[in-house]
Amino acid sequence: MSAKIPAIVLGGTGYVAGELLRLLAAHPRLELKAIASDSQPGESVSSAFPHLAATLGELAFCSQDDAAGLAASLPRSAVLAAAPHGVSAALIDVLLTRAETAGTKPTVVDISADYRFADTEAYARVYRHPHGAPVRQTQFTCAVPEHLAGVTTPHVAHPGCFSTTTLLAVVPLLALGLIEPQIFVSAVTGSTGAGRKPTSGTHHPQRHSDMYSYNGLTHRHAPEIAALAEAATGVAVDIAFVPHSGPFARGIHATVQATLRRPMTTADVIAGIRQFYAGCRFVRVLDTPPRVKDVATSNYAHLSAVADGRTVAVMSVLDNLVKGAAGGGVQWMNRLLGFDEAAGLVAPAPGWT
């Protein structure tokens, strides 16, 4: 086997960064070399992620500047950016600029929202602040891995967790011409989707044994879903999206509904979606409703559908931190570097989480 490629994680203290560290620890072709955090440089990484202490040993966080310097010193490296949106683009720009000056070529996968839109004006309209590095925009492609066979850009952005869950259900329906392009989405996410910093929405007494919607029909992921669905299928769509907070830590369950263009049975729809994802290692199409516990902590997504002749509903579940973030990011990195797409990602869900 070839020598491992050094890996660098930017924005190293959040839940997604923790999942990246867990996945990299078992990756056969990537070797973790640095974890950057300007809030905790010099601090032990295991103090932020005690469940990874046996794997991380004495590894300490470095500064973002040190991470950029390391990328500039390595002929080849894999950079996985897990910094917040509005921050990630500038960090990546600094790192790539230093690497270009030094003549090195890091490969970047951004897991933030900064490179999910095709142009910086669209990003600014949704996120209400200027893009952090518009000069880099054309160097990134954003898509769910299963929806794009190859990329022409040197770097990739992975869609958000809500977007990935929804797009896995929506894209086959549109690509196969099965539905009218008005789509209704109701999705429930676990508390880890709100990030590591405690809020009223993630505080246990508030969230335990409860479920509630938020940002109904105004959530910022709706335009992202619409743009990526059109990019994948060529069909312009109208997305009505209502997200919910669920009383569990990990996972997303999305129900996608639309009007069929012709009468179809449940078996017809399931067969079409199953054929669309034939050969996709991490997407499984079931005959029965999918369950979050069956995919939590894994890089697998489960789908199923029902149809009554006029309306179709597709149910889609995945782990928001893995397939919807860190795992999808590693999946893209595997492809960009020419590895087996499933390298380091084939562990099954443990169940009973």
Distance CA 324, CA 195 (A): 13
Q: For residue 123, how far is the Cα from the chain centroid?
A: 17
Q: To the nearest 10°, the Cα dihedral for 19, 25, 31, 36?
A: 40
- Answer whether 231's CB lies under 8 Å from 159's CB: no
**Helix (H) or strand (E) segment spanning residue 10:** strand 5-10
For the four alpha carbons of 178, 182, 186 and 190, in that order, the dihedral sign comes to positive
Neighbour count for residue 226 (Cβ, 10 Å): 20
- The set of catalytic residues is 161
The SS3 assignment for 308 reads strand
**Helix (H) or strand (E) segment spanning residue 283:** strand 283-285
Q: How many CA atoms lie within 13 A of 174 on its CB side?
A: 25
Distance CA 48, CA 94 (A): 25
Question: Which residues have C-beta within 8 Å of that of residue 97, sequence separation ≥ 6?
Answer: none
Structure tokens at 112: 């933030």
Distance CA 169, CA 214 (A): 22
Distance CA 265, CA 223 (A): 30
